[in-house]
Structure 1
Amino acid sequence: MATSRDVARVAGVSQSTVSYVMSGRRSISPETRKRVLDAIEQLTYQPNAGARALASQRTQVVGLVVPFGPAADTAGLLPFIETIASCARAEDHDVLLVTADEGAAGLIRLAGRALCDAIVLMGIGADDARIPVAATLSVPVILIGVPDDSAGLHCVDVDFALAGALAVDELAGLGHDRVVLIGHPAEVIERDINFVRRFQRGAAAAAERHGIGYSVVAPVPPDTAGAREAVERALEGGGLPGIVVPNSQAVGPVLHALVERGLVPGRDISLIGLCTDAAAEATTPAVTNVSLEPRDVSRRAMEILFRLLDRDGDDPAQLVELIPPRLTRRDTTLPAP
């Protein structure tokens, strides 16, 4: 059976060059790359994963920690998971998905048993007990989310403060003098998931800048009855407010509750959801939305993670990177005046 040494001999290069061609971790000239690939084809070389892991002290696995609680938006998480898996495969890595909410113990288990080369941590709380532990692990860790204190770990996320401001700016521009946020379930609020406060801060600041009313209805149980009650509370006080739904799972139920009351979004009232473009387009009527940019966030997180894994590379200087969201007008907001 051919080995990487045989490939290097036939191609007239070093074994490290063969490794770089296969991993893509170094810039190799087209001519050298072609010689190596031709040698691999000539020898029908297949790298042995076990031997490669022993030699490099790498598992070729990325751990993805995504706690799935009762209020988890599994549909919203799917684009993140798909993109992370695709980026990992492009770097010849697999993904180990960890969904149990084990806290810091789960991270220690992943790193301590050498189950993975690096960890992507999601579902970040503003004050997350996992972060101090993650910062001490022997493997690189990147956060999708921004805690109050990242303990020196790299973070990538949507700019949720900007997302909140975009939604309120749009509603103010449509003539609404009051904005109501229909918020998250109790579990999300109790866990103090980092993006909730960031979104609300941006929305509140924008409302103050425009001189319009602003309030939050929360917690909102994740069911039809919860959406009905939230809509009732949002409509108290007279007039028709602009409604923002930063919980993507609640967008559909809130739309339904409004229609039940005889209010047609886009004709009688404005509603903006914080959700993926795919979810916004699949809803009837199609929802004006501020995007979560899950694929852009995931791609950037994985780019940084593999830079951290590259022992010879430089770590990115910027610890927190925020991806700007976009607002797309669809059918659930009033026409512009």
Structure 2
Amino acid sequence: MAAFTSKDVARIAGVSQSTVSYVMTGKRPISERTRKRVLDAMEQLTYEPHSGARALAGRRTQVVGLVVPFGADGQIFGLLPFIETIASSARAHDHEVLLVTADEGSAGLRRLAGRALCDAIIMMDIEEHDDRVPVAAALPVPVVLIGVPADPAGLHCVDLDFETAARMAVDELADTAHDEIVVLGYPASAMERGLNFVGRVLRSARQRARARGVPLTVIEPVEHGQEATAEAVDQLLARRGGGRLGVVLPHNDSIGPILRALRTRDVLPGRDISVIGISPDPQAEESDPAYTNVSEEPRDVSRRAMETLFWLLDPAPGVERPGVDLVAPRLIRRSTVMPIPSN
């Protein structure tokens, strides 16, 4: 007789393998309809979870797995606020953090769950169409995504509301009577990989500019390095005519080099053009010049992701968490946006 597994039950019931686990363990609220489908599938397959496996599944490792982009495209400085906040939240819940690099792909996820190395997983560096997501949805441990893929496969997602962030930047430039907006975009690697926030920012910026009646151009890719930055800035400045030009910088790693390139060309943000960055507040405050920014709120995003993760581990009666939880951005005005003309 064939030995059926929880994966077979999940396939018959049309749910994730983790949902089957939650039905068996009661560690997460499951709707009565879904519970019945799982139980019916178990009965159909005459599936009986091994008692030893159930006992092992009940043990806690007190470890949270964190999948981070430490590969070729990983930027450690942008990751630090996320990692620090996640680690602090884990310690507050008597858990440690185990880092796994995103370049391990689905194999890294299976290793974390298959070897019972952690109680739950936080995944960063989410692509719009990410082949790790369906694998994560089938794992027997809770998984929370920092990022919003096209299909979350039932997983909880927490992120900045990048769509609103882009609209806020466009609105600020439209409200201050700019004649044209240019977005200096992302490096080719981010675009080719389809990182989820890239499309969300660019689509929203274009839609908002059309709604406000302001021409918007995206210059992309904007690569790292002095020569590539200089080329992008020269393309930007070639668009300067007699009107007021506003610039949105959504990729925080490129903001400092672009501001330096403008300075070497004697172009002063706030006097000659306007600049708004989408970046963490400390980066905007410590820049030279300090620039108007829409905050990425990395610590708030990480804090909410961890709240969701521990709710999945120990659901509180009557408490629900949204499937997609977007943190509201804030626009902080500094000196790099030209004031509205007096006449």
Band of TM-score, shorter chain: 0.7 to 0.9
| 3-state secondary structure, aligned to 1:70 | coil
What secondary structure, in the 3-state scheme, does the structure 1 residue paired with 2:81 have?
Answer: helix
Which amino acid counterpart does residue 300 of structure 1 have in structure 2? Answer: R
Alignment match, 1:85: 87
**How far did 1:196 drift?**
0.7
Say if 1:311 and 1:329 are closer, same or farther in 2 by CA, change over 3 A: closer
| One-letter amino acid matched to 1:255 | L
Does the 8 A contact of 2:158 with 2:304 survive in 1?
Answer: yes
Structure-2 residue corresponding to 1:321: 325
- Conserved 8 A contact 1:71-1:185: no
**Among 232, 257, 262, which residue is 1:258 paired with?**
262
Of 246, 249, 257, the match for 2:250 = 246
Q: 1:188 to 1:63 in 2, by over 3 A?
A: same
Q: 2:36 corresponds to which residue? A: none
Q: Name the aligned partner's letter for residue 287 of structure 2.
A: T
CA 148–55 in structure 1, closer or farther in 2 if over 3 Å, else same: closer
Aligned to 2:15: none
1:115 to 86, 92, 117: 117
* Aligned 8 A contact 1:246 1:275 in 2: yes
Alignment of 1:196-211 (within 5 A): 196-211=198-213
**What is the correspondence of 1:167-316 to structure 2 with a 5 Å cutoff?**
167-239=169-241, 240-310=244-314, 313=317, 316=320
Give the superposition deviation at 1:54: 7.6
The residue that corresponds to 2:99 in the other structure is: 97
Structure 2 residue 152 is the aligned partner of structure 1 residue 155:
no
In structure 1, give the amino acid aligned to 2:74.
A
List gaps (5 residues or longer) in structure 2: 1-54
1:335 Cα deviation (Å)? 2.3
CA distances 1:27-67 after superposition (whole Å, capped 9, x unpaired): xxxxxxxxxxxxxxxxxxxxxxxxxx989511000000012
Cα root mean square deviation, aligned:
1.8
Task: Show the counterpart of 1:144.
Answer: 146
Matched residue SS, 1:103:
helix
Instruction: Give the CA deviation at 1:236.
Output: 2.7
In structure 1, the partner of 2:335 is 331
Matched to 1:254, the amino acid is I
Deviation at 1:336, TM superposition (A): 3.7
SS across alignment from 1:244: strand
- TM-score by length of structure 1 reads 0.81
Going from structure 1 to structure 2, the CA distance change for 1:311 and 1:205 (only over 3 Å counts) comes to closer
Q: Is the 8 A contact 2:102 2:125 kept in 1?
A: no
TM-score by length of 2: 0.80
Mapped partners of 1:251, 1:63: distance in 2: 31
Cα displacement (A) at 1:331: 2.1
Judge conservation of contact 2:270–2:335 (CA < 8 Å) in 1: yes
Identity over aligned pairs, percent: 58
Distance across 1 between alignment mates of 2:217 and 2:57:
58
Are the aligned partners of 2:66 and 2:100 in contact in 1 as well (CA < 8 Å)?
Answer: yes
Matching residue's letter, 1:266? G
Aligned positions, number: 285
Match of 1:60 in 2: 62
Unaligned runs of 5+ in 1: 1-52
Between the aligned partners of 2:177 and 2:76, the Cα distance in structure 1 is 35
Aligned equivalents of 2:82, 2:321: Cα separation in 1: 24
**Whole-angstrom CA distance in 2 between matches of 1:259 and 1:276:** 22
